[in-house]
Amino acid sequence: QLLTQEIQAFNAKNADELEAFRIKFLGSKGILKSLFGDFKAVDNSLKKEIGQELNQLRQLANDTLNSQKGILESSKVKTKSNTDFTRPAEPIDIGARHPISIVKNQILDVFSRIGFTVSEGPEIEDDWHNFTALNLPEYHPARDMQDTFFIEQDPDILLRTHTSSVQVRFMENNQPPIRTISPGRVFRNEDISARAHCIFHQVEGLYIDTDVSFADLKQTLIYFTKEMFGKSRIRLRPSYFPFTEPSAEVDIYWGLQTETDYKITKGTGWLEIMGCGMVDPNVLKNVNIDPEKYSGYAFGMGIERIAMLLYQIPDIRMFYENDLRFIDQFKSVI
């Protein structure tokens, strides 16, 4: 009974104490071993009773050993860990939005405020949507203006050279009034330099309704440049696009305050930011919109150009190198 009490009261503070307990009671020279040794001498009439008691005692010692071992081990995990759970967590590195996305979202935002919806289309296009419907029939010399990556020939499948292809798809599926803006990636087989790349991004806009005039186009451009750049000094230079007539190129006066301004504007302070014009009646006919009833304007701009100007990026190749030292600088912009 004394032994039972001692075992029940046992409370190991560490592994050494536990081991001492095991040796004392259950070891090869331990108390239980010797008790079982003495047991042989016990009178036969008492064997049953004492045998039971001894077995119970051994069971108790074993159970105590195991349970104390468990307690020690679980407390070991706690005491071993130095973690201070009250410390503030490591900040999570959340990355930055790419400047192309930042500027694209800004452009979409400016136009959505005057009722333009966003439309998108495939990057792999057929000849009809990229060229023919846009008043560029086969063998039209203006096809050379845009050096095309062909995927298949006859019938031609290609990487779209502009997002005007999206506008064709939109006109095929919607009736005027149409006010839509089409952002996306475009591809041209051009030599890569600080100012040009074979992959870049565009946002093109299209407005078709009754009585749309060139004055509407111009006013929209002034609104856009003012919202986007905080300045609206622009000039329109007469130009040529097969899908618009008349056509113009839009330059914005940016000034020459930094070295990058010099580089980007070639020392003039002016930068060409988009092409535009009144939608050619032939284009409307191609998508079954009545040119007698409706007119419209269209414009298209390169996102990289505008981002270079806004963020003073001197080389277009920086957009695609994914150098974290470049991208991380846009962390504060949402």
| Tokens 């409370």, located at residue | 11
For residue 170, the minimal CB distance to ligand PHE (Å) is 13
Q: With CB under 6 A as the contact rule, which of the stretches 80-88, 263-271, 292-300, 316-324 interacts with ligand PHE?
A: 292-300
Two structure tokens written together for 127? 């000849």
For residue 176, the minimal CB distance to ligand PHE (Å) is 17
Q: With CB under 6 A as the contact rule, which of the stretches 69-77, 174-182, 284-292, 297-305 interacts with ligand PHE?
A: 297-305
Rule CB under 6 A: choose which of 64, 130, 135, 164 binds ligand PHE: 164
Nearer to ligand PHE, 301 or 309 (CB): 301
Rule CB under 6 A: choose which of 277, 309, 313, 318 binds ligand PHE: 277
Nearer to ligand PHE, 21 or 270 (CB): 270
Q: With CB under 6 A as the contact rule, which of the stretches 112-120, 174-182, 273-281, 307-315 interacts with ligand PHE?
A: 273-281
Partners of 278 in the β-ladder: 297
Q: With CB under 6 A as the contact rule, which of the stretches 108-116, 214-222, 241-249, 255-263 interacts with ligand PHE?
A: 241-249
Binding status of residue 244 toward ligand PHE by CB under 6 A: yes
Residue of minimal CB distance from ligand PHE? 300
Nearer to ligand PHE, 204 or 304 (CB): 204
Angle at 174 between CA 173 and CA 176, to 5 degrees: 150
CB 111 within 8 A of CB 181: yes
Question: Does 90 carry a binding-site annotation?
Answer: no
Give the closest residue to 133 by CA, choosing from 239, 249, 288: 288
Rule CB under 6 A: choose which of 162, 169, 197, 201 binds ligand PHE: 162
Q: CA 199: distance to chain centroid?
A: 19
Nearer to ligand PHE, 183 or 275 (CB): 275
Residue 201: left (phi > 0), alpha (psi -120 to 50), or beta? beta
Nearer to ligand PHE, 6 or 272 (CB): 272
Positions in 38-97 near ligand PHE (CB under 6 A): none
Exposed e or buried b per residue across 89-111, where buried means at least 16 C-beta atoms within 10 angstroms of its C-beta: eeeeeeebebbbbbbbebbbebb
Nearer to ligand PHE, 220 or 244 (CB): 244
Two structure tokens written together for 75? 């407390």
Spatial separation of the C-alpha atoms in residues 184 and 125, rounded to whole Å: 13
Q: How many residues bind ligand PHE (CB under 6 A)?
A: 12
CB 291 within 8 A of CB 285: yes
Spatial separation of the C-alpha atoms in residues 77 and 83, rounded to whole Å: 11
Kindly tell me the burial class for residue 260, based on how many C-beta atoms sit within 10 Å of its own C-beta (0-12, 13-18, 19 or more): middle
Report the binding-site residues for Mg(2+): 245
- Note the residues at the interface with ligand PHE (CB under 6 A): 162, 164, 204, 241, 244, 247, 275-277, 298-300
